[in-house]
Chain A
Amino acid sequence: MTDYKYKTDLPVLLPAAKRLARKDERDAIWGFGLMRPSGRQLSVFAIFLILITGVAEARSPDNQQGIISILIEWTPFLFEGFLFNILISAMAMLLGTVLGGILGLMQISLIPSIKHSSWFVTQFFRNSPWLCLLFFTMYMLPFEFDLGFVVIPFPDWLKAVLGLSLPIMANMSEIVRGAIQSIPFGQWEAAESLAFTRRQQLWQIILPQCVKRMLAPWMNWYAILTMATVLASIVGVNEVMTRVSEVLASTGGRVDLLAPLYFYIMTWFFLYTYPIARLTMRAERKFNVNT
């Protein structure tokens, strides 16, 4: 039992102490505590799942294949598409983070032209609809680059990576700028009066303090990006939503399949991104202490 940790003499706090102790036990069972589902959450989820597949199963004609067996049959095909989404999200995040980091540092440059142009780029991409950016990269860029001696192909999914990395870049730029500006000015001055160069001030004193401030919003944007990768289906990338359409088409466009199929995919995204959201919360809580 872990409730020794939550001793209290106040009767009003007893239920809370008990709840915290139960939470700890769950954490112990579920390891890292990334999902931490309560019994209630699990049962709601189960009821929802049964309801959707049940209703769909009931609505489907008797002479056709059952919903669940269709889902199982197509799972490898769909999962491959899902992995592609994850790949796109990871690459877009990487690219967006690198570009956004550079752009964010440019935003605090002392040179007005660099500062202003990077501000403009940031605001432009931050305030554009993601789908517009995706269409933009999709149709404005060539499908291959001919360098004369070698032809580098530039497939659609890479364009999608680029297109999705643009809003991430812009938001990362703002995160970096905001984090740097949230550091008290006295830190700069103290470093300056110790004869650090501006570059040293930034890299040795300011940025190390920014990392923990940036971590939570950065992870948050990754979760948002992951869910946005399905936009790539609109421009024809062979990811999970495209494959869902293919599955629907190959089963003859069965209406009763729509809800369970989409719910199935939503569950995958949930299982992938919810732990990230929890990690974000953890990171926030951890770094809020002692700053």
Chain B
Amino acid sequence: MSTLNKNSANGAANMPIVSINNLHKSFGDVEVLKGVSMDIHKGEVVCIIGPSGSGKSTLIRCINALNDINSGSISVEGQEVHSDTLDKLELRKKVGMVFQQYNLFPHKTVLENVMMAPLQVLKQNKAEVKVRALNLLKKVRLDGREDFYPGQLSGGQQQRVAIARSLAMEPDVMLFDEVTAALDPETVKEVLVTIKELAEDGMTCILVTHEMGFAKEVADQIYFTDLGHIVESGTPEVFFNHAKDPRTIEFLSQVL
């Protein structure tokens, strides 16, 4: 899908916060992304859905430069991500990421996990960071668990710590890479509620997800990827009720 107003943005207000243009990415001989474009504006919640192996995770990993790309462009707040002049650290201060496997630091307590990056990367004042961290933990409903180690928490709790940890850096965009895929059904909900509240607070969120109900409820824009292309995109209403592409229709008939 191409976006119409890519170059016509006349001012910061209209400028997309993340802009992906004709992105190509291969792993060896396998081309995973074959020309993907999308614009994400501030405060938008975007869900990327699609069958396994369609390049969804690769796509969002490219946004914070965890993967490099073969051609095309990605810019975050006007800064080209895949250029030699990119300051990766600056980019990652703006873009938070939450992973499927939580990836909490097991040797640190919950509070330390959340405080670590602001203290050591942003060199912020410890007292301020602590106040913020405690607030964030409260927000993800984990107050009282500050001194636990990740191994003592359930998967859902760990994932919420991971969200709080990422938010502690005060990013402008949050990437969620199948964050509920490793969770059992009961804990999926607590994580989704957290993300929903985050979205309602105006955080720009890009999610790779298999939770159709959640996408329907929360997303402003849904992109459907298959075999490295975006085959369909639109608002949840349009996407779920008036899909045009046969692949989308087939996929939806299987998952809904």
**Chain A residues at the B interface, C-beta cutoff of 8 Å:** 184, 186-187, 189-197, 200, 204-205, 208-209, 290-291
CB distance from B115 to the nearest CB of A (A): 11
Chain A residues whose CB sits within 8 angstroms of the CB of B117 once the complex forms: 194-196
CA distance A66 to B88 in the complex (A): 78
B116 adjacent to A204 (CB under 8 Å): yes
- Choice from A186, A187, A193, A204 contacting B120 with Cβ under 8 Å: A204
CA distance A196 to B92 in the complex (A): 9
Interface members, chain B 97-127 (any A CB < 8 Å): 97, 99, 101, 103-107, 116-117, 120-121
CA distance A100 to B169 in the complex (A): 36
Question: 15 extra interchain contacts, Cβ-Cβ under 8 A, other than A194-B165, A205-B105, A291-B151?
Answer: A184-B103, A186-B99, A186-B103, A190-B162, A192-B66, A193-B66, A193-B96, A193-B97, A194-B169, A195-B89, A195-B90, A195-B117, A204-B116, A208-B107, A209-B106
Kindly report which residue of chain A lies nearest to residue B117, judged by CB atoms: A194
CA distance A204 to B120 in the complex (A): 9
A193 adjacent to B121 (CB under 8 Å): no
Chain B residues whose CB sits within 8 angstroms of the CB of A194 once the complex forms: 92, 116-117, 121, 165-166, 169
Interface range on chain B: under 10, 10 to 19, 20 to 34, or 35 or more? 20 to 34
Is residue B149 within 8 Å, beta carbon to beta carbon, of the partner chain?
A: yes
CB distance from B207 to the nearest CB of A (A): 15
Rank and list the top 9 A-B pairs by shortest CB-CB distance, nearest first.
Answer: A190-B103, A195-B92, A186-B103, A194-B117, A193-B97, A195-B121, A195-B89, A195-B93, A290-B151
- Choice from A184, A195, A204, A209 contacting B169 with Cβ under 8 Å: A195
A193 in contact with B64 given A186-B99, A200-B121 (CB within 8 Å) = yes
In the complex, per-residue mask of B155-171: 1 if CB is within 8 Å of any chain A CB, else 0: 00000001001100100
CA distance A195 to B91 in the complex (A): 8
**Chain B residues at the A interface, C-beta cutoff of 8 Å:** 64, 66, 88-90, 92-93, 95-97, 99, 101, 103-107, 116-117, 120-121, 149, 151, 162, 165-166, 169
- Choice from B64, B96, B101 contacting A186 with Cβ under 8 Å: B101
Chain B residues whose CB sits within 8 angstroms of the CB of A209 once the complex forms: 105-107
- Choice from A189, A208, A290 contacting B103 with Cβ under 8 Å: A189
CA distance A200 to B123 in the complex (A): 13
CA distance A197 to B93 in the complex (A): 12
CB distance from A199 to the nearest CB of B (A): 11
